[in-house]
Structure 1
Amino acid sequence: MLRGAERMVHILGCRFWGAVRGSQIFGAHIFCRRVCGAELASRGQQSQGLCRTVPPAPPPSSSCRACPQHTSSPGDPSAMVSPAIALAFVPLLLTLLLRYRHYLALLYRAVLRLWLRDRLSGVPREHRAFQYLLAHAVPGDPRHVLSTFDRWSCRHEHLSCVGPVKGRIVERLLAERAPQRVLELGTHLGYGAVLLAAGLPPGARLYTVAVEPRHGAVAEKVIRLAGFDERTVELIVGPTDAVIPRLRQHHGLAQVDFVFMDHRKCWYLRDLRLLETHRLLAPGATVLADNVLFPGAPHFLQYAKTCGRYRCRLHRASLEYFPAIPDGIAELRYAGDGDSAPGGDTGVHRVPH
C-alpha cells in the first residue's frame, strides 16, 4: 500500500514537471521564431542552443531565451513568454492535486507522519497501537478489540489492516463456507487473526503466519487479549515461502479449507503456487486476497483467471480507512488440479461503504 501511494505521488510530480518543461520549450520556440527568425533544431535540445540563425540575422540587441548567444533585455515583454506559458499550467497542477488528494493524504498519514512520530517518540508504532488497545479495549471481546483498532487507525495513526468494510466481506464468506482449517498469510498486529478467529465455526482452528518477528510479538498479545488460546489460533513466525512447505510436517496441517492473504502483494502469486505445489488446498477451498486493486496484484489476478483451477470473483470495496480510494478483495474457489473451473472469468460484487 505505501509503495502504491509513493508511486502515485511520483507520477503526479512527473506529469507536472513534464507539463512545465514542455511549456518552456514551446514558449522558447515561439519567441525564437518571432525575434530571431530562427527555427528550433529539436524541442529537447534547449540546453545545447535551440536556434540557428537564418539570414537575414537580427541585430545582437534582440533577446532570445533559447539562444545562448544573445542576452535578455529586462524591458522586453517577449522575455515573459515562457514563464507566462508555464503559469498557464497552474490550473492543471491544481486539478491534479485535487484529483489525487486522497492518495497524498494516504502518503502523509501512512508514511510521513508515522516516520516522524517514530523519530520523536522513540516508541515503535506497533507498541503505540498495542498500548492504546490495552487502555481502551475490553479483554475477551473480539468485536471490541477490532473496533478499538479501527478507532486508533481513523483518529490517530494509520494501520494497514483489513478494516471494517472489507472485514464484513470476510465475515460473510467465513459464515458461508464454515471452514475447519483456516490459514492466514501475513497477520499485521493480529487484526486479521482476530477477525478470522471470531468467525470460526466450533472446532475449527486458525493458523496465522507473521512474516516479521516484531509484528508477531504484538500479534500474539492481541490474539490472547481478544480471548483466543493456542488451541484455536496458532501463530507461526517466519517468511511465508519457508513456512508453507513445512506446514504439513511441522504443524500437522494436511490441507486448508480457507486461505486469507494480506501480506506483500508481490508474494501472492508465489505463495499460491506453493500451496498448489505442496497440495495444501482442499477441493473447493476458498482463497481470499486483500488489496488486489490498490496497491494491486495484477500477476496474481491474471494467473487465477487463466490457469483453469479457480472460479474467480472480485468484491469491490474501498481501501481501509480511506473510502475515496477504490480497492477490492479477490475470491478464488479452488476446483482442483487439472480441472477446468466453470465460469472461470471474474465476477464483480460491489460492497457498500
Structure 2
Amino acid sequence: MTTTESKGDYRQKEEIWFDDGREERLLEHVKTKLDPKSKNRPESVIRLIDDFGVNHNYMMNVGARKGEIVTELIAAHKPQTMIELGSYVGYSTILFAAAVRENGGHEYISFEREHKFAGVAAALVDLAGLSDIVRFVVGSSSSSLVSEHKAGRLRRADMVFLDHYKPAYVKDLKILESLGVIGVGSVLAADNVIEPGNPTYLEYVRSNTQEKHDLAAKSSGSFPSKTINQYKEYASDDTELPGVPEIVYESRLVHSHEPTGVPDGVEITICKAISS
C-alpha cells in the first residue's frame, strides 16, 4: 500500500496534541469523505487520515515514511500473527494489518489502553474492511499481555510493532519474552526511538546476554519528565516479568521522519537465537 503523505506534510504538534476531540473529528471526517465504491478500502482510509493530519489537526500516527519501513518488513518476513502495542486511532493498525493480509497472514492483534481511542480505531478498521483480521485488546498493555496469554489467545508473535508508552517498551518486551511469545525469527519494530527517543530500549535490544543480566541489576533508566507525564493518566500498570536475557537479538536503526518532517527512526530487531 502507498500513501500520499510526504515529509513535512502534517501540521506541527500543538501544545495539546491528542485527546481533545480531534480523534472523534477524524472519524467523522473519514465517514463523510470515504467513497463507498473504493476498491482499496485500507488505502482510501489511510489517505483520508493523512488528509486530516495535513489540513485539520496533527495526529500522532506512524505516518507513511516510517510506515513503509514496517510494511517492507512484513513483505519480507510474511508474519502469520502480528501484534502492535499502541493503536491510537488505528493508522498503523490499518496500514500493517492490510500488509499482513496481503502477504498471507491471518491475525493482527492490537493492544490499546484507552477505550475511546480503541473505539475510533475499531470504527476506522471496520471502514477499511479489515475487521476479519484485526482483534483489539483494550486495557493496559502489560497486564493485557499476561491475561491474553493465560486465556490462550496470545501465543507466538512473528512480528511486534511497539508504539505506545515509551517507558513501557522494555517492560512489555520482557513480558513477551517471559511468556514465550517472542521466539527465534520474531521481528520487532520500535517507533519513536529518536523522537522523543528511547535509550533504555535501544540499550536493551543491543545488549548481549551478560550485559542484559547487568542491566537487570541496575535501575530501569530514566526518561524526560515530559515523556513520562504526557501519558501519565494512561500508564499505571505494575505488571512485570523478568524477561529472557538469553535471547540473542540482532538490531539496527533505520532513520526516517515523523509525518511533520521531524527526524525520527525505527529500531528493527530480529530474534536470532536463544543461548543456553
Say if 2:115 is the partner of 1:195.
no
Tell me how far 1:246 sits from its aligned partner. 2.2
State the secondary structure of the residue aligned to 2:186.
strand
Tell me how far 1:273 sits from its aligned partner. 0.8
Matched residue, 2:268: 331
Tell me how far 1:138 sits from its aligned partner. 3.3
Runs (4+) of structure 1 exceeding 6 A deviation are none
Matched residue, 1:210: 112
Aligned AA (1:311): E
Contact 2:86 2:164 in 1 (8 A): yes
Say if 2:193 is the partner of 1:292.
yes
CA offset digits 1:258-286 (Å, max 9, x no partner): 00011111111111111111111121100
Contact 1:255 1:281 in 2 (8 A): yes
Superposed CA RMSD? 1.9
| TM-score normalized by the length of structure 2 | 0.76
State the secondary structure of the residue aligned to 1:310.
strand
Say if 2:173 is the partner of 1:269.
no
State the secondary structure of the residue aligned to 2:154.
coil
CA offset digits 1:310-337 (Å, max 9, x no partner): 10011100122x22x2100000001233
CA 1:252/1:114 → structure 2, altered by over 3 Å: closer, same or farther?
closer
CA 1:164/1:262 → structure 2, altered by over 3 Å: closer, same or farther?
same
* Larger RCO (CA within 8 A; separation ≥ 6): 2
Distance of 2:83 and 2:183 partners within structure 1: 12
Aligned AA (1:332): T
Distance of 2:145 and 2:18 partners within structure 1: 32
State the secondary structure of the residue aligned to 1:282.
coil
Contact 1:114 1:157 in 2 (8 A): no
Q: Where do 1:1-353 residues align within 5 Å?
A: 106=12, 109-112=13-16, 118=20, 124-139=21-36, 141-200=41-100, 201-229=103-131, 231-308=132-209, 309-320=248-259, 322-323=260-261, 325-338=262-275
Distance of 2:23 and 2:257 partners within structure 1: 24
Distance of 2:108 and 2:94 partners within structure 1: 10
Contact 1:184 1:209 in 2 (8 A): yes
Tell me how far 1:170 sits from its aligned partner. 1.0
Matched residue, 2:238: none
Distance of 1:165 and 1:336 partners within structure 2: 30
| TM-score normalized by the length of structure 1 | 0.60
Aligned AA (1:253): L
Aligned AA (2:115): P
Tell me how far 1:126 sits from its aligned partner. 1.1
State the secondary structure of the residue aligned to 1:160.
coil
Uncovered stretches (5+) of structure 2, i.e. residues with no partner: 1-7, 210-247
Distance of 2:84 and 2:144 partners within structure 1: 12
State the secondary structure of the residue aligned to 1:284.
coil
**Whose Rg is larger?**
1
Uncovered stretches (5+) of structure 1, i.e. residues with no partner: 1-101, 119-123, 340-353
State the secondary structure of the residue aligned to 1:187.
coil
